[in-house]
Structure 1
Amino acid sequence: MHILIVAPEQIPVPGSGSVEICILAIARQLARNHRVTIISKRSPTLPNQSLNGNMVIIRVPSGSTKTYISSVLHYMNGRKYDVIQVDNRPHYMARIKQAFPRTPVTLFLHSLTFVPKDRGIASCLKKADLIIANSSSLKEKLAKRFPDSSKKIKKVELGVDISRFRVASEMEKVTTRRKYLGSHPFTILFVGRVIPRKGVPILIEAASLIRRSIPVHIIIAGSGTSAYMKRLKLQAYRMGVPITFIGKKPHSTIHKIYRLADCFVCPSQKHEAFGLVNVEAMASGIPVIASRNGGIQEIVQHGHNGYLVDQYHHPQQFASYLLKLATDKSLRERLGANGRSDVLQHFTWSRTAAKLASLYRNLQV
């Protein structure tokens, strides 16, 4: 098949946004057996066209949604594809389907952000030949929100690069920790956007509850507004919690940051469609403590590869599980090993691509 993937207009591919990370990883796997073209936004730091085996990335002018979709359609004019996949943009998908009525056009949704419940979006979704959701939770919410399109929603879980995200050697751990920490307290890692819905204040509170029992240190890998970051630093200072903000790291090197951690915490306060960072932590052999919401609970199995927090708007349960892991190294190792095994079975990019290819082949019939 020749598969076209249309990326959103905000971040070029490759890029550090979660959607762009997924697009590139899936495309690389699909390109082992198919021709893949990615259309992405133009960037001054990237060539207008990149070729890698069966995969080509075409970068077109953006600047606004109107400019971008016009650029996409201009490039597509006169070309033929077996399947067209549009990520996270229902309006683009509908425009492309209108221009290519005889070609199967799919919409790959990574969250609920761009599909609010309104007539315009519902009308767009009706035009899709297939809608991909990255978790059962997202699939169920979409089906409830858009019942007329529910029968064409399929689930395809995301994955992780298991060669980069792996269990680190003791030497790798020591080297990485020496760079960022110096000492070796129980280290808690958070990776992601530093915004209120991600729950970093809850994590700081939880750490403050256990710091008198055991030395702890929080590492925050991600960025937010200067005002919000200042507020978090002040909170940690007032609560006496050692915390290091290392900023947003390129995804090409983020796997090294997981080597810092004794455990990974995902205290999300609102629905998470999937939660890719949890899979990355598990692939790295690190136990996860996460909010029991959305697709996270399809990844983290309570007591098996980590712990799920029911009362995730409060710090007490997070603190309880943190203390449990902090005082039992063998438990950390067992949960971490289980997480790595679960990823190898269920959350690899090759598995994601194989599921997608199977669905797309069926559209050809």
Structure 2
Amino acid sequence: MNLLLVAPEQIPVPGSGSVEISMLAIAKQLALNHTVTLISRTGRGLPQVSRMGSLTIVRVRTGSPSRYIASVLRYIRGRRYDLIQVDNRPHYMAKIKAVFPHTPVTLFLHSLTFVKPTARVNESLGKADLIIANSDSLKASLAARFPRHAGKLRKIHLGVDTGRFRPAGGRGSQSGSRFRVLFAGRVIPRKGVPVLIRAVGLARKEYRAIDLTVIGRGRPGYMKELKRLARAKGVPVKFAGKIPHQAIHRNFRSADLFACPSQEHEAFGLVNVEAMASGLPVVASHIGGIGEIVKHGTNGYLVDAYTRPEEHAKWIVKLARDRELAGKLSRQARKDAVERFSWKQTAGKLMGIYRQFGT
């Protein structure tokens, strides 16, 4: 098949956003058996066209959403594709479907951000031949918001590069040594870093040798607030800033636990799968699609009362004190990631749906 994938306009491919990471990984897998073109925005230091075997990445001009989709349409007009997939932008998908009325056009959604319950979004979704959600949670939320389109919805979990994200050799902290908690993601209020800092502060009252690393970028004012909070709570925090995705696997390998204290809906939570593949037990808010990845007491712990720092703290302390248990959860986390969340599985399931769909 000759496939076209259209990325959002905000971050070039390759990029550090979860949508861009997912699209490139899936495209590489699809290109093992199909001809794939992935359209993205231009980026500093990136060529207009990159070729990797049967995968071609084409980068077009942007500057605004309207300019970007105009650039996309200019490139694809007159070309032929067997199927077109647009990620996370329902209005782009609708415009592309108008140009390719006889070609199957699907929408792959990664979050609820661009599908507010408005008449315009509802109209755009009506143009999709199929809508893919990255979790059962997102699928259910979409069905509730747009019941008219529930019959078009399918679910495909995202994946992880299990070769790059893998446990460090010889890991196995001994009781009494430092216990390293890691957070990685956008440092914005909805991600819950203040809750995590308070949780680590409480945990350190019961097990002193716990420290915290926060990877990610935030507004300068917000970062200052977090640093003040950490000082006030006596929490040793390393604010590592933004680390390129192609290098971040090394940071996972140097941690003992991954924390995901999200305070608002997470459709999937790609970073949790990356942590699990790295052999990290995960302590995460029980919200959105996270519970489809993290299994309580098996590969990590889910926090129901996720706004309360003490609820996160109790699981952090439990694993810091019981390294045998932490090791057991670590091994299961890795096993689950390999067996359930490889990119090969994601791409295979996606093509299975597309073939069943009649393409």
Structure 2 length-normalised TM: 0.97
In structure 2, the residue matched to 1:179 is none
In structure 1, the residue matched to 2:13 is 13
Aligned pairs for 1:92-103 within 5 A: 92-103=92-103
Q: Is the 8 A contact 2:273 2:337 kept in 1?
A: yes
1:324 aligns with 2:325: no
- SS of equivalent to 1:69: helix
Which residue of 209, 220, 230 maps to 2:214?
A: 220
* CA deviation map 1:261-285 (0-9, x unaligned): 1111100000000001111111011
Q: Is the 8 A contact 2:166 2:253 kept in 1?
A: no
* CA deviation map 1:287-317 (0-9, x unaligned): 0000001000010000000000011001111
AA at the equivalent of 1:327: R
In structure 2, the residue matched to 1:64 is 64
Paired with 2:162 and 2:81, the residues of 1 have a C-alpha distance of 30
Paired with 2:317 and 2:40, the residues of 1 have a C-alpha distance of 45
Paired with 1:216 and 1:167, the residues of 2 have a C-alpha distance of 20
Paired with 1:17 and 1:292, the residues of 2 have a C-alpha distance of 22
Deviation at residue 184 of structure 1 after TM alignment: 5.5
In structure 2, the residue matched to 1:112 is 112
Which residue of 269, 274, 280 maps to 2:274?
A: 280
In structure 2, the residue matched to 1:177 is none
Q: Is the 8 A contact 1:203 1:318 kept in 2?
A: yes
Deviation at residue 213 of structure 1 after TM alignment: 2.6
- SS of equivalent to 1:212: helix
In structure 2, the residue matched to 1:241 is 235
AA at the equivalent of 2:75: Y
1:211 aligns with 2:198: no
Deviation at residue 42 of structure 1 after TM alignment: 1.1
Structure 1 length-normalised TM: 0.96
- SS of equivalent to 1:21: helix
Aligned pairs for 1:353-364 within 5 A: 353-364=347-358
Aligned pairs for 1:177-196 within 5 A: 185-196=178-189
Deviation at residue 343 of structure 1 after TM alignment: 1.1
In structure 2, the residue matched to 1:310 is 304
- SS of equivalent to 1:246: strand
Which residue of 234, 254, 258 maps to 1:264?
A: 258
Paired with 1:36 and 1:333, the residues of 2 have a C-alpha distance of 41
AA at the equivalent of 1:88: N
Deviation at residue 363 of structure 1 after TM alignment: 3.4
Aligned pairs for 1:123-162 within 5 A: 123-162=123-162
1:290 aligns with 2:262: no
Q: Is the 8 A contact 1:104 1:363 kept in 2?
A: no
In structure 1, the residue matched to 2:194 is 201
Q: Is the 8 A contact 1:82 1:364 kept in 2?
A: no
AA at the equivalent of 2:246: S
Paired with 2:135 and 2:228, the residues of 1 have a C-alpha distance of 36
AA at the equivalent of 2:286: R
Which moves more between the two structures, 253-262 or 205-214? Answer: 205-214
Q: Is the 8 A contact 1:282 1:340 kept in 2?
A: yes
For the aligned residues, what is the CA RMSD? 1.3
Paired with 2:350 and 2:13, the residues of 1 have a C-alpha distance of 20
In structure 2, the residue matched to 1:55 is 55
1:4 aligns with 2:1: no
- SS of equivalent to 1:132: strand
Q: Is the 8 A contact 2:168 2:254 kept in 1?
A: no
Paired with 2:123 and 2:177, the residues of 1 have a C-alpha distance of 55
In structure 2, the residue matched to 1:340 is 334
- SS of equivalent to 1:211: helix
Deviation at residue 67 of structure 1 after TM alignment: 0.8
Q: Percent identity?
A: 57
Paired with 2:286 and 2:54, the residues of 1 have a C-alpha distance of 40
In structure 2, the residue matched to 1:169 is 169
4+ residue runs of structure 1 moved beyond 6 angstroms? none
In structure 1, the residue matched to 2:74 is 74
Paired with 2:5 and 2:94, the residues of 1 have a C-alpha distance of 14
1:301 aligns with 2:288: no
AA at the equivalent of 1:206: A
